[in-house]
């Protein structure tokens, strides 16, 4: 069977994880991500992929970087099905809705005076329009995508509903087996399960794994110190989060440190236009202790602004799109100039407007006003524990026979580093396909 694939990631500004698979006149899209570090001003047609010509989409997980261009695809005429787990469809919908609502011009805090906020990439109603296309699948149950292809989902341990996908393409006697991996968590994944490792694959599509350097517990310790200091000084702790990706991991961390008897009690707020609905569907579980029992979702702009009139220390986990969007703006305006407050940045946020502004020091432009930055800026390791590169290499080493490995997701440098590590470990047939280039399998 004649099979071709194109890696779409970074093919144009704003295009996140995505792989176009072509076989027998069919076009299947694996992930449909939006990289919100850059505005996506294009269309699917401008990428040379008319949306109506794509017959199905398979999503690995609901993070924006893997699902966020779906409303654009539907707007341009995609009418196929979007196969994913049920929880993935919820997470994707929350991520996309938050993006739509956060990109409303009033939420764009990083614009200079008189500068117009850019148009949102899509609106709330366009997120609703995606709903009828979701085909919710269970893990470990193969589904037919068309007459040639079946997909089977396995747990990826990378947040609710995350999965990786085994794809089998059959035509007559020819059979091609692919494994598509979006992102994988260090624990709770099915990588070593019999149906995955016991199978033989022709091609693997993988993210660039990196060595996990930080020790578990170190970030918790630092965060505990930051909260204690803010309580003592009477300031607040702001935690900007891009979309909802890191919410659970950060909350778990806060919950963990709240168990320590010396921790002061503080209110923790989750501030995003989708927080209420999100907490209904994925309930927040307050800790056993009295501290942090007031974990509250904050839905409306008004209640978000009200948070700043609370006296005493609060921890605010607020939505922050990568281009200077989101509720975090309200809180920066009130807190950035206060030396008693802290702004905690988790993980690599190098391309965000906020991160760049804070790195620059001095002042921050918030809703057209220059605000002096006196708050403590704290950078902590990403709470997401991805699968370690070493563990990924060991896992690959167990695959017999060795499949072709295509590293399709991640930064250029991390891809190059991971491919070198693979070759060093004796794994041959490693490719890093350039963005937008059509490759025959
Ligand atoms: Zn992810």
Q: Provide the Cα torsion 287, 305, 274, 371; round to 10°.
A: -100
Beta bridge mates, 378: 344
More confident residue, 264 or 180: 180
Model confidence at 247, in pLDDT bands (50, 70, 90)? confident
- The chain-wide mean pLDDT, for the chain, equals 87
What's the gap in Å between 55 CA and the centre of ligand 1?
Answer: 24
The residues, any chain, with a CB within 8 Å of residue 45's CB and separated by 6 or more, are 51, 76
CB atoms within 10 A of CB 281: 14
Does the structure show a pLDDT above 90 at 259?
A: no
What's the gap in Å between 193 CA and the centre of ligand 1?
Answer: 21
pLDDT of residue 243: 61
State the average pLDDT over residues 71-100: 94
What's the gap in Å between 386 CA and the centre of ligand 1?
Answer: 9
pLDDT of residue 244: 64
What's the gap in Å between 179 CA and the centre of ligand 1?
Answer: 17
Distance CA 30, CA 163 (A): 12
Which residues have CB atoms below 5 A from the ion given as ligand 1?
Answer: 63, 183
For the segment(s) 3-104+122-212+385-440, the CATH number from 3.40.50.920, 3.60.15.10, 3.30.230.10, 3.40.50.2300 is 3.60.15.10
What's the gap in Å between 409 CA and the centre of ligand 1?
Answer: 11
- The closest alpha carbon to 298, from 247, 223, 368, belongs to 247
What's the gap in Å between 61 CA and the centre of ligand 1?
Answer: 7
What's the gap in Å between 32 CA and the centre of ligand 1?
Answer: 12
What's the gap in Å between 334 CA and the centre of ligand 1?
Answer: 31
pLDDT in tens, 35-58: 877 778 888 988 999 999 999 999
More confident residue, 119 or 441: 441
What's the gap in Å between 36 CA and the centre of ligand 1?
Answer: 13
What's the gap in Å between 312 CA and the centre of ligand 1?
Answer: 35
Q: How many percent of the chain have pLDDT more than 90?
A: 54
pLDDT in tens, 396-431: 999 988 999 999 999 899 999 999 999 999 998 999
What's the gap in Å between 420 CA and the centre of ligand 1?
Answer: 23
What's the gap in Å between 363 CA and the centre of ligand 1?
Answer: 32
Model confidence at 116, in pLDDT bands (50, 70, 90)? low
Cβ-contact 138, 153 below 8 angstroms: yes
What's the gap in Å between 60 CA and the centre of ligand 1?
Answer: 9
State the average pLDDT over residues 203-222: 85
- The closest alpha carbon to 274, from 293, 296, 294, 297, belongs to 297
Does the structure show a pLDDT above 90 at 66?
A: yes
Fold held by 218-380: Rossmann fold (3.40.50)
β-pairing verdict for 314-319 and 267-271: parallel
What's the gap in Å between 189 CA and the centre of ligand 1?
Answer: 14
pLDDT of residue 284: 60
What's the gap in Å between 383 CA and the centre of ligand 1?
Answer: 12
Does the structure show a pLDDT above 50 at 180?
A: yes
What's the gap in Å between 163 CA and the centre of ligand 1?
Answer: 10
What's the gap in Å between 235 CA and the centre of ligand 1?
Answer: 32
pLDDT of residue 347: 76
pLDDT of residue 255: 80
Model confidence at 350, in pLDDT bands (50, 70, 90)? very low
Secondary structure letter of residue 120 according to DSSP:
P
Q: Which residue in the block uniquely carries the two structure tokens 């990196």? A: 210
What's the gap in Å between 87 CA and the centre of ligand 1?
Answer: 14
pLDDT of residue 289: 47
Cβ-contact 8, 18 below 8 angstroms: yes
| Cα radius of gyration (the chain) | 22
What's the gap in Å between 354 CA and the centre of ligand 1?
Answer: 21
What's the gap in Å between 290 CA and the centre of ligand 1?
Answer: 32
Domain with CATH 3.60.15.10 in the chain: 3-104+122-212+385-440
Tokens read off for 46: 């401008």
pTM summary value: 0.88
Distance CA 33, CA 79 (A): 18
Distance CA 100, CA 127 (A): 8
- Ramachandran bin of 194, using left for φ above 0, alpha for ψ from -120 to 50, beta for the remaining angles: alpha
pLDDT of residue 306: 84
Distance CA 14, CA 9 (A): 9
Domain with CATH 3.40.50.10890 in the chain: 218-380
Q: Which residue in the block uniquely carries the two structure tokens 């011009």? A: 105
- The closest alpha carbon to 52, from 75, 34, 23, belongs to 75
Model confidence at 382, in pLDDT bands (50, 70, 90)? confident
What's the gap in Å between 233 CA and the centre of ligand 1?
Answer: 36
What's the gap in Å between 385 CA and the centre of ligand 1?
Answer: 11
pLDDT in tens, 126-179: 999 999 999 999 999 999 999 999 999 999 998 889 999 999 999 888 999 999
pLDDT in tens, 281-331: 877 665 554 445 455 677 788 888 888 888 889 999 988 876 677 888 889
Distance CA 431, CA 272 (A): 40
What's the gap in Å between 159 CA and the centre of ligand 1?
Answer: 8
């Amino acid at each position: 069977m004649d099979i071709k694939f194109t890696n779409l990631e970074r093919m144009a500004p704003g295009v996140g994880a995505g792989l176009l698979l072509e076989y027998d006149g069919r076009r299947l899209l694996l992930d449909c991500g939006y990289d919100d570090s850059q505005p996506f001003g294009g269309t699917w047609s401008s990428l040379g992929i008319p949306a109506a010509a794509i017959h199905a989409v398979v999503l690995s997980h609901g993070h924006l970087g893997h699902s966020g261009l779906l409303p654009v695809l539907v707007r341009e005429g995609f009418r196929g099905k979007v196969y994913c787990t049920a929880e993935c469809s919820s997470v994707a919908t929350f991520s996309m809705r938050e993006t739509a609502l956060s990109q409303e011009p009033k939420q764009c805090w990083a614009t200079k005076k008189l500068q117009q906020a850019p148009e949102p990439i899509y609106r709330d109603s366009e997120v609703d329009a995606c709903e009828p296309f979701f085909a919710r699948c269970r893990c470990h149950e193969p589904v037919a995508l068309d007459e040639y292809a079946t997909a089977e989902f396995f747990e990826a341990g990378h947040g609710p509903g995350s999965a990786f996908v085994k794809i089998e393409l059959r035509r007559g006697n020819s059979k091609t087996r692919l494994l598509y991996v979006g992102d994988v968590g260090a624990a709770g994944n099915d990588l070593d399960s019999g149906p995955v490792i016991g199978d033989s694959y022709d091609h693997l599509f993988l993210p660039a794994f990196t060595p996990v350097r930080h020790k578990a517990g170190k970030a918790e310790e630092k965060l505990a110190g930051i909260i204690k200091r803010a309580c003592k000084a009477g300031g607040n702790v702001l935690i900007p989060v891009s979309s909802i990706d890191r919410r659970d991991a950060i909350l778990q961390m806060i919950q963990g440190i709240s168990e320590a008897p010396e921790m002061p009690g503080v209110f923790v707020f989750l501030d995003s236009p989708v927080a209420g609905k999100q907490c209904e569907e994925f309930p927040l579980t307050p800790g056993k202790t009295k501290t942090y029992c007031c974990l509250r979702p904050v839905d409306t702009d008004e209640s978000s602004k009200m948070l700043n009139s609370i006296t005493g220390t609060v921890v605010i986990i607020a939505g922050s799109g990568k281009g200077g969007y989101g509720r975090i703006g309200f809180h920066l305006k009130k807190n950035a100039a206060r030396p008693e407050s802290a702004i905690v940045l988790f993980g690599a946020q190098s391309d965000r407007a906020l991160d760049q502004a804070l790195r620059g020091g001095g002042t921050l432009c918030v809703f057209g006003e220059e605000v002096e930055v006196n708050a403590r800026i704290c950078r902590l390791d990403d709470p997401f524990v991805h699968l370690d590169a070493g563990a990924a290499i060991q896992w690959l080493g167990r695959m017999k026979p060795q499949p072709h490995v295509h590293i399709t997701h991640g930064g250029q440098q991390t891809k190059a580093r991971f491919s070198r590590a693979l070759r060093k470990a004796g794994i041959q047939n490693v490719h890093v396909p350039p963005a937008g280039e059509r490759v025959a399998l």
